[in-house]
Amino acid sequence: MTASLLGGCAAREESAAKLRVLIVDGQNNHTVWPKSTMMMKAYFEQSGRFEVDIARTQFTWQGAKWAPHYPLQDGRTYEDLPEPKEDPDYAPDFANYDVVVSNFGWRAADWPAGTRDALEKFVAGGGGFVTVHAANNSFPNWPAYNRMIGLGGWGGRTEKDGPYVYYDNEGKLVRDDTPGRGGAHGPEHQFMIEIRQPDHPITRGMPTRWLHTQDECYDRLRGPAEEMTILATAYSSPEYKGTDRHEPALMTIDFEKGRIFHTILGHEDYSFEGVGFIVTLLRGTEWAATGEVTIPIPEDFPTETEAKRRPFP
C-alpha cells in the first residue's frame, strides 16, 4: 500500500515508515555477485529509508571472470560454461514489498510463468521495479520484461526488439532503427554522466555533469523504449571502443501504474562504491517505490572533475 491510498494521520505515519525493498538475485554473470547484493542491502539500510529482504533462486549461477569473447584458461569459451538452471519453485511474494530490485544478469534462466505474471501484475498495479547493470541483459524473450526495462542488451537482442536510443553530439534525442546487435561496451574506465532531466525528483539538485567511478559504459542497448524518460546519459567514447554517442545511463519507465528505475551502472565492486552509483540507486529506488524523493544529495557527491568512492568495508 502506498501513502497516497491513505488519508490524514495514517498517510503521515505511512510516509515515515520504512519502504520495503526486495532484492531478487541468484544468477549473474558477474563475479562481484553476490557481494554486490550485500553492498546494495547495506546502502539501503544505512540510508534509514528502507528495509531489505533478498529472494534468491535455489540454483545459483555465477559467470566467470572473463568476458564472453575471451577463452577460458583451459581452452573452453564462456559459452561452454554450464547453463544456469531454471528454478521451478522461485516465487517471491512481490506484493509484500514497495519495490523490487533486480540483481540478476546475463544468461539468467527464465523464471516460472507464474512468477513472471506475478511481477507484471505487481508493477502494473503500482509497484516499483529497479534494474541494475546486467539485469538489463536478462530474460530477452519476456516481452513485458523488455517493456519494463525500456532498453536491454545481449541475449540475442537486435532490431527485432526495438530501436537504439541515444543523444547525438548536438544534443538531439535519436531513435535509430538501423539493424544490429543490442548491447556492447568497451574496456572499463571513469566516464562522465550528464543530466538530461534536471527537474526530475531523482536528479534534482545534482551537478549537470559528474564523473562516475571506473565502470562499464553500456552502449547500443535496444528495446521498445516506450514511456521511457532518459534522466542522464553517459558519453561513450571512441577512445574506449564506444559509439561517440551519449548513451542512456539512468532512465525511468512507466508501466501502467508502476514506476521503473533503470541504471546501467554497477559492473564491479569499485563501481558499486561510486557515490554517484549509491545516491542514484537510493533516490531511484525511493522514487520507484513512492514517486517522490526525500533522500538528500550528500556532500561527497562527485563533481565534473572528480569521481568519488566510499570504500566498502
Binding footprint of Zn ion on the chain (CB under 5 A): 216, 267
CB nearer to Zn ion: pick between 216 and 219: 216
CB nearer to Zn ion: pick between 107 and 267: 267
Least Å distance, CB 289 to Zn ion, is: 25
CB nearer to Zn ion: pick between 63 and 223: 63
| Strands annotated E in the chain | 19-28, 50-62, 99-102, 128-132, 164-167, 173-176, 189-195, 209-215, 228-236, 245-255, 258-263
Least Å distance, CB 266 to Zn ion, is: 7
CB nearer to Zn ion: pick between 183 and 223: 183
Least Å distance, CB 225 to Zn ion, is: 21
Q: Nearest residue by C-beta to Zn ion?
A: 267
CB nearer to Zn ion: pick between 49 and 267: 267
Least Å distance, CB 268 to Zn ion, is: 7
**CA separation for the pair 93, 116 (Å, rounded):** 12
CB nearer to Zn ion: pick between 115 and 136: 136
Are β-strands 245-255 and 209-215 bridged in parallel, bridged antiparallel, or unpaired?
A: unpaired
Least Å distance, CB 38 to Zn ion, is: 17
Read off the C-alpha cell for 185.
561496451
Least Å distance, CB 97 to Zn ion, is: 26
Least Å distance, CB 147 to Zn ion, is: 23
Whether 162 contacts 186, CB under 8 Å: no
Length of the chain (residues):
313
Q: Please say whether the dihedral angle defined by the alpha carbons of residues 2, 145, 22 and 291, taken in this order, is positive or negative.
A: negative
Least Å distance, CB 98 to Zn ion, is: 27
Residue position matching grid coordinates 529506488: 285
Read off the C-alpha cell for 96.
509484500
SS3 of residue 86 by DSSP: coil
If you ran DSSP here, which 8-state letter would residue 190 be given?
A: E
Whether 26 contacts 104, CB under 8 Å: yes
* C-alpha angle 68-57-135 in degrees, rounded to nearest 5: 45
Are β-strands 99-102 and 164-167 bridged in parallel, bridged antiparallel, or unpaired?
A: unpaired
Q: Which residues contact 93 (CB under 8 A, 6 or more apart)?
A: none
SS3 of residue 127 by DSSP: coil
CB nearer to Zn ion: pick between 262 and 267: 267
CB nearer to Zn ion: pick between 29 and 290: 29
